Amino acid sequence: MKRYFVSYSPEGIGYEVHTAACRHVAPEAERIELGYSLNCYEAIRKARRHHPNVNGCAHCCPRCHAPKWGAISPGASLAANVE
């Protein structure tokens, strides 16, 4: 299990989910802890409780990263995906 956070992207393109070890994770005051999750898909589901449009970080959550922002929409089914 990994520890995840969600924060607003400094590029102003929306919210991103990061692992605690990611070098792109926002400073503590600028992020929301999501806790431990089995994979990035579970972390994104948790993040959607705070922000409906969330993407995975291309660096630490590549399986959850949508190249075109918003491609992982709030209604997308993530249940079958595993990191």
40 contact partners, CB below 8 Å, separation of at least 6: 4, 17, 56, 61, 63, 64, 83
**For residue 22, pLDDT beyond 70:** yes
Q: How many residues does the chain have?
A: 83
Instruction: Give the pLDDT score at 14.
Output: 84
Domain ranges of the chain: 2-64
**For residue 41, pLDDT beyond 80:** yes
Q: Model's pTM, two decimal places?
A: 0.78
Share of the chain above pLDDT 90, in %: 65
Q: How many CB atoms lie under 10 A from the CB of residue 83?
A: 15
The overall average pLDDT reported for the chain is: 83
Instruction: Identify the three-state secondary structure at position 3.
Output: strand
